[in-house]
């Protein structure tokens, strides 16, 4: 099974923000990206969050979410959509999925020979979910709550020898990237990967840190996807295409 990953569309009205972010161009890039996935035989696409930029208004976010939803609906490649911190800027959790027909990823799902685990770090350090209290979020206060860590531990521990897992999260789990982009309790996830996930977790794929990154740590490959919103033109290299039959080096 071939899976295409992409992240950080930051769709919106602005031509340019933050120096190199082009929100108004992201919708066109998404169309090209999904067409590219189609041409390359991608079976499943996964968006790792920050679908909208969330910097103008709630109405603007709703309009852009609806536009993205239409592009995704018109694509022949099914797309699972995770949420990023920007998707909570102007509204809570329910709105994001209620006004779109985005397929919300389950905590774990099977894709070919691989189990995908969707970690959600859109939580404050006190355990409150972003958007739940109507307060503006501090994007650096990003945490994976204990119930997800327990579930991750249980799933890995309970899976038979030889099981294969890829972990996905919008915010960064690669501790080599700029610190403010890293999930505050990333070390707890790394511990689980080293223990319960030993010989089972193959890739850790994230977004959020727009330049993107790649590193090998604790014997695993950490891939941070470059943001789709960066630059004026569509860059097919911002996406990652992986075949689930690909066996990583550490398995020999
Ligand atoms: Fe983000």
Q: Cα(84) to centroid of ligand 1, in Å? A: 5
| 184 CB burial (10 A radius; 0-12, 13-18, 19+) | middle
| Span from the CA of 159 to the centroid of ligand 1 (angstroms) | 31
Fold observed for domain 2-245: Purple Acid Phosphatase; chain A, domain 2 (3.60.21)
* C-beta neighbour count of 92 within 10 angstroms: 14
Report CA(21)–ligand 1 centroid distance (Å). Answer: 13
Whole-angstrom Cα distance, residue 157 to residue 151?
10
3-state secondary structure of 127: coil
pLDDT computed for residue 71 by the predictor: 97
**Structural domain spans, the chain:** 2-245
C-alpha of residue 137 to centroid of ligand 1, in Å: 12
- Tell me, in angstroms, the distance from the centre of ligand 1 to residue 161's CA: 34
Rounded distance between C-alpha atoms, residue 69 and residue 63, angstroms: 10
Q: What pLDDT is stored for residue 185 in this prediction? A: 98
* 120, 142 Cβ separation under 8 angstroms: no
Q: What confidence tier does 16 reach under pLDDT thresholds 50, 70, 90?
A: very high
Strand ranges of the sheet holding 44-47, from the earlier edge strand across to the other edge: 79-81, 44-47, 2-6, 240-243
CA–centroid distance, residue 48 to ligand 1 (Å):
9
State in Å: Cα 51 to ligand 1 middle: 9
Distance 43 CA to ligand 1 centre (A): 25
Distance 223 CA to ligand 1 centre (A): 15
Q: How far is the CA of 85 from the centre of ligand 1 (A)?
A: 5
Q: 33 CA to middle of ligand 1, Å?
A: 19
Q: Ligand 1: distance of its center to the CA of 209 in Å?
A: 7
| Alpha carbon of 8 to ligand 1 centroid (Å) | 7
pLDDT per residue over 102-117, tens digit each? 988 999 999 999 999 9
Q: What are the structure tokens assigned to 179, written together?
A: 């610190």
The model's pTM is 0.96
**Lowest model confidence (mean pLDDT) among 55-59, 143-147, 149-153:** 55-59
Could you tell me the distance, in angstroms and rounded to a whole number, from the CA of residue 251 to the centre of ligand 1? 31
The pLDDT value given to residue 250? 66
- In the chain, the percentage of residues whose pLDDT exceeds 90 is 85
β-pairing verdict for 213-217 and 201-206: unpaired
Cα(130) to centroid(ligand 1), Å: 13
Neighbouring residues of 72: CB distance < 8 A, sequence distance ≥ 6: 30, 34, 79, 81, 101, 102
Question: Residue 228: what are its φ and ψ, rounded to 5°?
Answer: -65, -30
Burial of 183 (0-12, 13-18, 19+ CB in 10 A): buried
The pLDDT value recorded for residue 119 is 98
pLDDT in tens, 57-91: 889 999 999 999 999 999 999 999 999 999 998 88
Q: Using the mean position of ligand 1's atoms as its centre, give its distance from the Cα of residue 150 in Å.
A: 24
What is the per-residue pLDDT across 188-237, written as a single tens digit (0 to 9) for each?
999 999 999 999 999 999 999 999 999 999 889 999 999 999 999 999 99
């Amino acid at each position: 099974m071939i899976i295409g990953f992409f992240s950080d569309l930051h769709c919106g009205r602005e031509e340019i923000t933050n120096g190199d972010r082009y929100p108004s161009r992201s919708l066109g890039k998404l169309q090209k990206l999904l067409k590219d996935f189609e041409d390359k035989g991608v079976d499943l696409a996964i968006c790792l969050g920050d679908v909208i930029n969330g910097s103008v208004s709630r109405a603007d976010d709703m309009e852009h979410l609806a536009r993205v939803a239409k592009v995704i609906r018109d694509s022949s490649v099914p797309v699972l959509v995770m949420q990023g911190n920007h998707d909570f800027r102007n509204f809570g959790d329910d709105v994001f999925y209620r006004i779109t027909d985005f397929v919300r990823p389950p905590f774990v799902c099977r894709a070919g020979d691989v189990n995908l685990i969707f970690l959600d770090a859109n939580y404050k350090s006190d355990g409150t979910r972003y958007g739940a209290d109507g307060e503006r979020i501090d994007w650096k206060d990003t945490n994976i709550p204990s119930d997800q860590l327990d579930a991750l531990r249980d799933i890995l521990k309970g899976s038979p020898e030889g099981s294969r897992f890829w972990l996905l999260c919008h915010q960064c789990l690669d501790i080599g990237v700029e610190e403010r982009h890293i999930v505050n309790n990333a070390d707890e996830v790394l511990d689980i990967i080293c223990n319960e996930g030993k010989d089972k977790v193959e890739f850790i794929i994230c977004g959020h840190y727009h330049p993107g990154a790649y590193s090998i740590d604790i014997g695993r490959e950490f891939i941070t996807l470059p943001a789709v919103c960066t630059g004026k033109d569509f860059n097919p290299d911002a996406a990652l295409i992986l075949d689930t039959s690909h066996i990583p080096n550490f398995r020999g």
